[in-house]
Amino acid sequence: MFRRAGTSTFKKYAEQFRHKPASYLTSFALLHEITAIIPLPIVYYTLDYSDIRVPVPEQAVAEGNRIMSKVRTRYGYEPLDSDSQVMVNLATSYAVVKAMLPLRIAASVALTPFMAERLIGPMGSFITRLFRRQK
């Protein structure tokens, strides 16, 4: 008698997935990776250019920078200053992106049908036609 909102939409996507699983899985995987990569520089540069300081003991920052400076000089880069926040900002950016996992999965699931139908599916069809012509 009562039907939940979006049930027909979900059934439509489930039916499309059943007929084209490769394009849907590829789309989800790509979106999941894109939503992991794009926020990293955004969070890092937000931390770097703002006055936001992650509370990490100065001794831990100095020791981490000392270790990273050894690695950097081994590969020809300049060492880090003992009070540099680069490694703290990198680690914080990584942690923020990992904490956003539920949001990233939801966005990936929501965008998968669009990407599968508009980008991945047509690209797969084009590549298939291209290789059929060459034979």
pTM: 0.74
Contacts of 36 (CB under 8 A, 6+ apart): 97, 104
Q: Give residue 2's pLDDT.
A: 47
What integer pLDDT is reported at residue 65 of this predicted model? 92
Domain boundaries, the chain: 20-134
Question: Could you give the CA distance from residue 120 to residue 125 in angstroms, rounded to a whole number?
Answer: 9
The torsion angle over the Cα atoms of residues 25, 26, 29 and 35, rounded to 10 degrees, is -120
pLDDT tens-digit map of 28-58: 999 999 999 999 999 999 999 998 888 999 9
Cβ pair 47, 93 in contact under 8 A: yes
